[in-house]
Structure 1
Amino acid sequence: MSDEPILRFHGAAGAVTGSCHLLEWQDQRVLIDCGMFQGSKTEKELNYRPFPFQPHRIDAVILTHAHIDHSGLLPKLAKAGYEGPIYATQPTADLCSIMLPDSAHIQESEVVHLNRRNERRGRDSVEPIYTAEDAAVSLTLFRPVALEVWQQATRSIRFRLWNAGHLLGSASVEIEIATANRPLRLLFSGDIGPEHKLLQFDPKAPADFDYVICESTYGDRERLETSDPARRAALMAEVRAANHHDGALIIPSFAVERTQELLADLVYLMETKAVDTSPIIIDSPLATRASEIFARHARGMENGQLLSKALHAKNVRFTQTVEQSKAVDFIRGFHIVIAASGMCEAGRIRHRLKNWLWRDNGTVLLVGYQAAGTLGRILEDGAATVRIQGDEITVRARIRKLEIYSGHADGTELLSWVKARQPIRAGVFLVHGEEVALAGLAQRLSSILVESRIVTPHIDSAFKLTKHAAIDVSEARALRLEPLKAGHHDWHNTLQSFILKLQAELQNAASDKERGVVLRKLKRALAGED
């Protein structure tokens, strides 16, 4: 048992997904977030492994917000024996009530399809990460709490939540541990929203901490001006450029918040005649249910009245059933489709992409962060062909990116946020970022902090939190993932890229003889021959 608290980073360390931080003090254990890993198959495989801690020994969970990369393994936690409280804001609890069952449905559906393929290939069947029943059990553990009010997590650890400005209900977590002489003070940023976010007020938190654990998603970059007029002008330009006869603007979008922001701005642009009025289809049952929750909380949101008006616009249609979704393929004339998931990894967006990527009158507009190894990142990086559900698709559609809708603060805004938390006596941990973003934010913070006080942990690394500095107490054997494998393309991505390039080489060969030459060279290379 340590005489100082220990903080363990079990996710979102060197990568942007799987947020999960375990705080240990004496015999007390508090988990901040319990998120699902997304990105490469190597990272997603961690979702199937046992937790690197004993769930039944956790005393409390504090959830920063409802996004699946922060909340998505809560049903698995409950399945593994956790029975304690899950503290979150009321809007976060409301959103999780639809997002966690939806995630369970995805797990079960994908496993059904996978097991059919495994049976045909003579492979063993697999189990879903968790089921709808596990999700339902986890929801009974939620304990909604108000912002800026102290709560007791354990006998010696208390916390309070502060608006993080990222998502409806999102929060930063202030923690005090009743150590000797004076409390040890920590602040977990959660995901910090940018300035001028349409539906959320600016982030808010106190100052004077021993440690700050700060997200770094966009730590290496600065975005363009993010005022309401600038954001709408950028969206207007994309809609006008995409507006071709019998064309479509396909927007992969997170079902929660991003979809509602886009909808509000699109309807505003159409009502003010900045763009032509066109059908807007929200092709996501989850986004439909989330929009109902946003409507209930509209009074407590910035510009909530704009969203309420957009949700009832005559040219806006929500699809619920599979039949309604399939009917979208038969729409004639220019239209806009917003569908989940935002990184193109699951959901109806993959069907929309299969239907439109090969057409030169289609436009795909990426409006959020695309993690390494996801289909969204592969498209963003300019792939000429992609594989979707086993099919090879040639990319002829315009691929566009609009970062101005990001739910994350950029490097300058994160620096300002950290500055406002000073004094920070012992150190800052940088999490929830890929390698370049982490290095970029560390460089920015070196202007206000001693470099040795800026720590970039890896997945499963651990640190003793003294009053003066963080001491690395990680055990190499405890690391589930090599540091360089987090936040990067893996061998699965390389294999898919190689297969697509090989197929293109064979198709472009002038004759069967040339194709034979290519294949013989490959066979010799595999055999290790010169």
Structure 2
Amino acid sequence: MRGDRDKDPVLRFHGAAHGVTGSCYEIGTSRARILVDCGLFQGSKSERELNYGAFPFAPEAIDAVILTHAHIDHSGLLQKLVKQGFSGPIHTTRATIDLCSVMLPDAAHIQEMEVEQLNRRNVQRGRQPVEPIYRQEDAAACMSLFRALEYCEWTTIAEGLRARLWNAGHLLGSASVELEIDRDDAPLRIIFSSDIGPDHKLLQADPEGPAGFDYLICESTYGDRDRPDFSPEQRRSQLGEIVRGAAEANGPLIVPSFAVERTQELLVDLYLLMESGDVPTAPIFVDSPLATRASAIFERHADEIEQGNVLRQALNSRELRFTETVEQSKAINRLNGFFVVIAASGMCDAGRIRYHLKA
């Protein structure tokens, strides 16, 4: 998007184009430069290697960042941005700030552990050690730059640039960004949808957004396929069948789950199934330190989400146990009979879920 005049705004895509992850959009005018998101590339080895390359802009030249939500493919390179010289404000919702306060240090911890393991192999092979993309101290420095915005309120982000956030219905605190850019004739309005929906999420209201804009930058992760539109009741019914099967077999039900939002949705579903008598009552273990911390944040923001009261009840259920230590995690596998374990990661490629599947 570029006009004939030098002072017309320029939009550059630095990620989430020709791919899904690494969301990062740069908007430049004659007076300011900002980013919408600064996310980690995930997926194949070649995609992950993009995280180690130089930014296609000077971090110190960026005036501000607007963050749409806390998922790492949207937020996960903010620490690197700060490490390399960015010192401006990072604008987002209060709930996203709270989630980032646990997710960004967790991402840094994973970086440090993976590099430590890699360097052990490098020493054995006579190769030079490598540095992590960022460390936990970079995450702490990054968090000091966050500034809270409210939905549906205009805020000046930089000279000649204003933003308003709309609920994207995707994750606690998620937002679509409406950006208004000053021009000589009339302001230019651009909408960055970020990740939206899907509709009928258990804990999130349906997405909202304005009309009358000039450009829409829209996510299209599943734009080329029809996906089953399960209502919460349909999903809960299918989950109930699985739970009853595990109960009849008198064995554990091991559920891989993403730590943020999916775990909390599962806890609500299991609570409602057990309270209604649709499935037998049993202990539920959340075996993920990140999911434990995220659940506390969801409870803190329960008034802002759908089913907030039910979520509070689920998180304070007499059947629910959160584990923190490795010893507590290992102790689960010594139990007999029917119980439920929810553990990260959701794709079974990392985290404590791997050890439960081996047990």
**Which bracket does the TM-score occupy, shorter chain normalised?**
over 0.9
Q: CA RMSD in A?
A: 1.6
1:171 aligns with 2:184: no
Give the Å deviation of 1:8.
Answer: 1.3
The correspondence for 1:113, drawn from 114, 117, 121, is 117
1:30 aligns with 2:34: yes
Counterpart position of 1:477: none
**Paired residue secondary structure (1:11):** coil
Aligned residues: 355
Ranges of 4+ aligned residues in structure 1 off by more than 4 Å: none
CA distance in 2, matches of 1:193, 1:2: 37
Counterpart position of 1:430: none
Paired letter, 1:234: Q
Give the Å deviation of 1:15.
Answer: 2.0
Paired letter, 2:27: L
Query: Matched residues, percent identical?
Result: 62
Cα deviations across residues 149-208 of structure 1 (Å, max 9, x unaligned)? 101111111111000111110000000111231111100011111222111111111111
CA distance in 2, matches of 1:243, 1:73: 43
1:152 aligns with 2:156: yes
Cα deviations across residues 117-165 of structure 1 (Å, max 9, x unaligned)? 2212222211111111000000000000111110111111111100011
Paired letter, 2:317: A
Counterpart position of 1:404: none
Alignment of 1:73-222 (within 5 A): 73-222=77-226
CA distance in 2, matches of 1:265, 1:247: 20
Higher relative contact order (CA 8 A, sep 6+): 1
Give the Å deviation of 1:305.
Answer: 0.8
Counterpart position of 1:341: 345
- C-alpha spacing 1:312/1:273, structure 2 compared with 1 (3 Å): same
**Paired residue secondary structure (1:302):** coil
Give the Å deviation of 1:19.
Answer: 1.0
CA distance in 2, matches of 1:223, 1:269: 25
Give the Å deviation of 1:26.
Answer: 1.7
Give the Å deviation of 1:344.
Answer: 3.1
- C-alpha spacing 1:128/1:246, structure 2 compared with 1 (3 Å): farther
1:329 aligns with 2:307: no
C-alpha contact 2:63 2:88 (8 A) present in aligned 1: yes
The correspondence for 1:228, drawn from 216, 228, 232, is 232
CA distance in 1, matches of 2:131, 2:326: 25
The correspondence for 1:262, drawn from 259, 266, 281, is 266
TM-score (norm 2): 0.94
Give the Å deviation of 1:112.
Answer: 1.4
Paired letter, 1:123: R
The correspondence for 1:19, drawn from 17, 23, 27, is 23
Paired letter, 2:219: E
Paired letter, 1:265: D
The correspondence for 2:72, drawn from 63, 68, 73, is 68
The correspondence for 1:285, drawn from 267, 285, 289, is 289
TM-score (norm 1): 0.65
C-alpha contact 1:195 1:226 (8 A) present in aligned 2: no
Counterpart position of 1:47: 51
CA distance in 2, matches of 1:330, 1:224: 38
**Paired residue secondary structure (1:209):** coil
Counterpart position of 2:252: 248
Paired letter, 2:311: L
Counterpart position of 1:271: 275
**Paired residue secondary structure (1:153):** strand
Counterpart position of 1:476: none
Give the Å deviation of 1:228.
Answer: 2.6
C-alpha contact 2:169 2:204 (8 A) present in aligned 1: yes
The correspondence for 2:315, drawn from 311, 315, 329, is 311
The correspondence for 2:11, drawn from 7, 11, 15, is 7
Please tell me whether Structure 1 or Structure 2 has the larger radius of gyration of its CA atoms: 1
